[in-house]
Amino acid sequence: MTDGRPRIGVIGAGAVGCYVGGRLAAGAVADVTLVGRQWLADAVVDHGMTLRELDHDDFVAAKDIRFGVDMQALSSCDVVLCCVKSGDTANTAAQLAGILRPGAIVVSLQNGLRNGDTLRVHLPQNPVVDAIVDFNVIMRDHAVFQRTTSGPLTVETKSEPQHQVWVDALRAAGLEVVEVDAIEAEQWTKLLVNLNNAINALAGVPTREMILCRPYRSVVAMLLDEGLDVLEEAGVRTAKFRGVPLRVMSFILKLPTPIVRLVIAAQLRMDPEARTSMAQDLERRRLTEVDFLNGEIVSLAESNSRDAPLNRRIVELIHEAERAGEGSPNLDAKALLQRIRPQQAPAVTDG
C-alpha cells in the first residue's frame, strides 16, 4: 500500500488496461503502474491519457501515472490486472512468476475461459481472480482511450479482506463492479456474446452498424444458436446477459431492425464508432483471439464427437484474414453468408 492506497499494476496495457488503469489514476484511488508497448508508453509520456466516456472526457497527466515496458516495474504491486491477449497468457505468467511478490493478487481481465487456470499453474504463490470486462474500449491516436459501450466489470467474489481493497478502488474510480459467486457460467455467456466479434472483424464496419443490419444479425444468431446447442449437449450452464436469456437474445436478433433498435436503446449504450477488439486486432495486423472464442465452441463440440461447422468456418476466415495481413476483408452480409454456408445461404433482407 502507498499512502493507504493499493499499488495496482496492469500488464498488457492496451485499450482496456489503459482505460481501467487510467480510471484508477484519475480518481487518485490507487498508485498505478502500466506495462505495455514502447510506442504506447511514448504516447502517454507525450500526451498524458485522455479517458473518453460516452458523455465526457477525463484527463490523466503523464506525471500522475507510470508507464513502462519492463515487467520488473510490477514487483512491488499489491494487485496486477492481467490484460494480455489469451495466446500470451502462459508466457506472461511464467515471466511474472519471477517478479511478483508472494501474495500479490492477479486479476484476469481477459477474453476466453482458461486464462485464470493458466495463471494459477504458473503463479502458485499468487491468488488469481477471474473477472469479465462487459464493456468495449477503443484506442485512438495521442493516448485517447474511448469507452464505447456501457457495462460493468464482473468479478469472482472472494471473502478475504485484501480482495475487497482493490474492488473498492475500482468502484471509487467510477467503475461499476458486479461480484458473483460462480463466474464460470458468466464466462461462457460472455464468450457466446463475443462470437459476434469475428463477424465485426470480417465486416469491417462499426458494431452498431453491424447490429442494425438484419443480414449481419442473422449470421450472429446462427453462431449463437450453434454455440448454445453445443453447450447444452455438453451440459454447460450459461447465465443471462444483462437479464436476458441467450435463447431470447437469439430470437431478438432475428426480429426486424426497428424492434432491435428499441431493444438496444433499452439495454445498452453504444458509441456509433464502437468496434470489437478482434476488429481492432485485424486492423493493426495482429493475431486475434478467435481460437479462444469461436474456436472454443469448435473444441467443445469435438470433445463430444460433434461438429460446429459455422463457428469452425468463421475461425478459418479470420485466420485467412490474419495471414493476408491487409486488415478486415470488408465482407458484406451476403458475401459472409456465402462464405460460411455456400449451399444454404438464406435470403435475409434488412428491415
Domain with residue 175: its CATH number is 3.40.50.720
Amino acid, single-letter form, for residue 55: D
What percent of the chain has a predicted confidence (pLDDT) above 70?
A: 97
Residue 348 resides in a domain? no
Asked whether the predicted pLDDT for residue 205 surpasses 80, the reply is yes
For residue 138, the cross-strand partners are 146
End-of-domain residue from the set 181, 199, 229: 181
Which domain range does residue 164 map to? 7-181
Tell me how far apart the alpha carbons of residues 170 and 154 are, in angstroms, rounded to a whole number: 11
Residue 351 resides in a domain? no
Interval 271-291: pLDDT, tens: 888 899 999 999 999 999 999
Tell me how far apart the alpha carbons of residues 316 and 340 are, in angstroms, rounded to a whole number: 10
Number of domains in the chain: 2
- pLDDT confidence bin for 347, thresholds 50/70/90: low
Residue 254 resides in a domain? yes
Tell me how far apart the alpha carbons of residues 220 and 210 are, in angstroms, rounded to a whole number: 10
Residue carrying C-alpha cell 468495449: 136
Query: Do residue 151 and residue 114 come from a single domain?
Result: yes
- pLDDT confidence bin for 82, thresholds 50/70/90: very high
Residues 6+ apart with CB under 8 A from 4: none
- What pTM did the predictor assign? 0.92
Query: Do residue 173 and residue 192 come from a single domain?
Result: no
Query: Do residue 159 and residue 260 come from a single domain?
Result: no
The mean pLDDT of 35-64, rounded to a whole number, is: 94
Asked whether the predicted pLDDT for residue 1 surpasses 80, the reply is no
- pLDDT confidence bin for 55, thresholds 50/70/90: confident
Residues belonging to the chain: 351
Q: What's residue 160's pLDDT? A: 85
DSSP letters, 173-198, are TT--EEEES--HHHHHHHHHHTTHHH
Asked whether the predicted pLDDT for residue 344 surpasses 80, the reply is no
- With 0-12 / 13-18 / 19 or more C-beta atoms within 10 angstroms meaning exposed / middle / buried, residue 51 is buried
Cell of 75: 514487483
